[in-house]
Chains A and B, each alone.
Chain A
Amino acid sequence: DGGITQSPKYLFRKEGQNVTLSCEQNLNHDAMYWYRQDPGQGLRLIYYSQIVNDFQKGDIAEGYSVSREKKESFPLTVTSAQKNPTAFYLCASSIRDRVGPQETQYFGPGTRLLVL
């Protein structure tokens, strides 16, 4: 089955701790994205990557870091600098925009991060 997997489903973070959320896709998509979802606020873009070894900050990148060493993987680290990390985190991927308008984003099942 082709798709996007995120792990773990639930993650607990202690004060001052860095945690890493996993996102893997086997769709052969070039672009990958991380969003944060808070109640009543929709989704906000944290980071995105159009190609391996390259990524850009989204609207709320402070306190987060990413890497894109492989096409199929785009892990997100929530650092201790992120003071309000409790949220639902969603990873997405899409075929990189080429001639046609085919950049529909497909989402993983999400990871819920809670602070102890």
Chain B
Amino acid sequence: AQSVTQLDSQVPVFEEAPVELRCNYSSSVSVYLFWYVQYPNQGLQLLLKYLSGSTLVESINGFEAEFNKSQTSFHLRKPSVHISDTAEYFCAVKEAAGNKLTFGGGTRVLVKP
């Protein structure tokens, strides 16, 4: 069975500083990987995804994530955060041939001025 671990439950960071959110997964088969963002009292929005091809994927708002198969990781990074990036971020994994999306526990990012 697949599982996802987000190592940090909370990450405080100052505005314009870099941030990295760690995500590790376990699965014995090929997977697809996703990062979602959730603002308070809202649903989840897809931030970026890795399906195949280049292991570095980028979002339109400056986030990027790199798929590392040997380390079974999909860490999310942003070189310079804004106050508006304050939210909870979820890593998720889906087996390529399966139906089920498995989520990590989430990382709450608090951007301080």
Contact = CB atoms under 8 A, between A and B. Distances in A.
Interface of A: 4, 6, 31, 33, 40-45, 48, 50, 56, 58, 90, 92, 97, 101, 103-110, 112
Chain A interface helix/strand/loop/mixed: strand
A40 B43 contact: no
B7 to A, nearest CB: 13
Contacts of A56: 99
B9 interface: yes
Contacts of B51: 101
A40 B90 contact: no
Contacts, number: 52
B90 A42 contact: yes
A31 B98 CA distance: 13
9 nearest CB pairs, A to B: A107-B43, A42-B103, A107-B44, A43-B103, A42-B105, A109-B43, A101-B51, A110-B43, A108-B43
20 contacts: A4-B43, A6-B43, A40-B105, A42-B4, A42-B90, A42-B104, A43-B44, A43-B90, A43-B103, A48-B100, A50-B99, A56-B99, A101-B96, A106-B46, A107-B44, A109-B43, A110-B41, A110-B42, A110-B43, A112-B41
A43 to B, nearest CB: 4
